[in-house]
Structure 1
Amino acid sequence: MSNAQDKVLALAGMFQAARLVQKLARDGRTETRPFAASVRSVLMIDAENAAEVYGGVGGVALGLKLLRDKLSGSAEPSDLELAKYVISMLQLEAALRRRPEVAEAIRAGVRAAETQMSLFHGESEDEEEEDDADTVHPRLVDLLAELYTQTLSTLNPRIMVSGEHGHLSNPEIAARVRAGLFAGIRSAVLWRQLGGNRWQLVLQRRAIAQEAERLLKSAERQ
C-alpha cells in the first residue's frame, strides 16, 4: 500500500475509535467487530503497514465509511461531538510526543498485556472464552483500560467523554470507553508517523473521502 492509503487507514482508525466511544457513552453498547479490530490495533506495535494494524482493511470499514460520508458533506447532529473526539486524540498524541517516558511506559505495558493474554489463553480450559475474529476478550479490554488510566489519562489535555451517566459509571462500559480511546490514540500516533497533520484534514477532504471509498470497495471484493 502507498503512504497515502496508509494515512487514510490510520485516519479511519481514529474516526472509528471516536464513533465507538461515542456510542458506548451514549448507548452503553457499540458494534462488536469494529470494537475488536480497534482494541487489537493497540497491540500491533511492530506491524509492517497500516492494514496489518487493523487486521486488514475491513477492520476499519466503519471508520472508512465515516471518512467517506463526513468529509464529503454528509452531516448529522452528532458530528460535532465526533469531531471533538478526533481533535482531542490528535492533541493527546502531540502531548505524548513531548513525554517520551510515558510513551515508553505504554510500550512496556502493551508488551506486558500481550504476555498476560497469551498466558491467560494458554491456561484457559474453556474455548468459548477466547476471542474469535469478531470479538475481543474482556480481560484485554481491562488491561488496556488500566494502562490508559496509568499513562494517557495523566497527560493534558484529557479527553472528556460525554454520555449517559448510567453508562459511564458502569465499570465494564467505562473500561471499554478507555480501551476505545486508547485505540484512537494508537491510530493518531500512526497517522503522525506517516506524515499526517491537521491541515490535510482541511485541504485534502475530497481526496481523503475518495480514497476511503476506494478502500471500502477493495475490502468488499476480498
Structure 2
Amino acid sequence: MELNTFSNQTIALAGIAQVAVLVQQLATTGTCDQQAMDASIGSLLKIDSDSAADIYGGLGGLKLGFDQLNGQITGEKPPNPDQARYAAAIVFLERKLSDRKDFLSAIQAGIVKAQAQTEQFGELHENVLANLGDLYHSTISTLQPRIMVNGEQRFLSRPDIANKIRALLLAGIRSAMLWRQCGGSRWKFIFYRKKIQAELQDLIKRI
C-alpha cells in the first residue's frame, strides 16, 4: 500500500487519539468503549495489512478516535489535559523507541507470542492482555519520561485494568509508528490542520 498519504496519516492520528481516550476512560471509570478497545488492541496483532484502515479492522474501529480528533481540531470538544498528555508522550516515546533495536526485537517477539495466544484464547483474553502489558512494562515504560496515568487509585491498582492500560499504550506506540511511517510529523500537523480536518470529515462519512 502507498503509505505517505494524508488519509493514512489521519487514520494513524485517530489511532493515537483513540488510545488516549481509552486509557483515560479506564483510569477514571474502570471501563471503556469495548468496540474501540477491540480495534486498538487488534491493531497490535496486525503485522501485515493491505491498508492503514485494515490495521484497525476497518474505519469503523476508529470511530471513537475520529470523533475525538475531529472535536480537538474543530474546537467542538474542550481539550482534556490528560488525553493530550498521553497522546504527546506516545508520539515522543515512539521516536525514542526507534533507536532501540533491542526493544524493537523484544516487542516483535512478544507480539508474535500474543498472536499465538489469541488463536487459543481470543484477542482480549486476560492472558493476552497480561502478555502485552508485561511487554510494555519491560520496554516502553523504561524509557524516559515515563507516561504517568492519572485516575482513580481503586482502578489503577487492579492488575487487570493496569494490563489493559499498558496494552493500549503499546497500541498507541504502534499507531505513532504508523503515523511516522506515513510521513506524519509535528510540523505537518501544525501547518496542514485544514487538510487533515478535510480528510477526517471524508473518513467519518465513510464509516
**TM over 0.5: same fold?**
yes
Distance in 2 (alpha carbons) for counterparts of 1:190 and 1:9 = 9
- Local SS of the residue matching 2:24: helix
The answer as to whether partners of 2:133 and 2:164 remain within 8 angstroms in 1 is yes
Larger mean CA deviation between 43-52 and 19-28 belongs to 43-52
Paired residue for 1:138? 126
The one-letter code of the counterpart of 1:13 is G
Paired residue for 1:106? 107
The one-letter code of the counterpart of 1:215 is L
From 40, 45, 66, the equivalent of 2:68 is 66
Distance in 2 (alpha carbons) for counterparts of 1:215 and 1:207 = 12
1:160 maps to 2:153: no
What TM-score comes out, normalization by structure 2 length?
0.93
Distance in 1 (alpha carbons) for counterparts of 2:82 and 2:198 = 23
- Identity score, percent: 41
Distance in 2 (alpha carbons) for counterparts of 1:5 and 1:189 = 15
The answer as to whether partners of 1:68 and 1:210 remain within 8 angstroms in 2 is no
Paired residue for 1:91? 92
Deviation string, structure 1 residues 126-185 (Cα, Å, up to 9, x no partner): xxxx56xxxx33322122111111211121221111111111001111111111111111
Distance in 1 (alpha carbons) for counterparts of 2:60 and 2:77 = 23
The one-letter code of the counterpart of 1:196 is G
- Local SS of the residue matching 1:160: coil
Number of equivalenced pairs: 205
Distance in 2 (alpha carbons) for counterparts of 1:50 and 1:156 = 29
User: How far off is 1:210 after superposition?
Assistant: 2.1
Deviation string, structure 1 residues 64-113 (Cα, Å, up to 9, x no partner): 1111111111232x522211111100111011011111111101110111
With over 3 angstroms needed to count, the CA separation of the structure-2 counterparts of 1:75 and 1:117, relative to structure 1, is closer
From 168, 179, 184, the equivalent of 1:196 is 184
- Local SS of the residue matching 1:71: helix
Larger radius of gyration: 1
Alignment of 1:11-50 (within 5 A): 11-50=13-52
Distance in 2 (alpha carbons) for counterparts of 1:161 and 1:69 = 22
RMSD (Å), alpha carbons: 1.5
The one-letter code of the counterpart of 2:177 is V
Paired residue for 2:196? 208
The answer as to whether partners of 2:40 and 2:56 remain within 8 angstroms in 1 is yes
- Local SS of the residue matching 1:47: coil
The one-letter code of the counterpart of 1:101 is D
Distance in 2 (alpha carbons) for counterparts of 1:116 and 1:137 = 9
Paired residue for 1:52? 54
Distance in 2 (alpha carbons) for counterparts of 1:30 and 1:210 = 28
The answer as to whether partners of 2:16 and 2:172 remain within 8 angstroms in 1 is yes
Paired residue for 2:157? 169
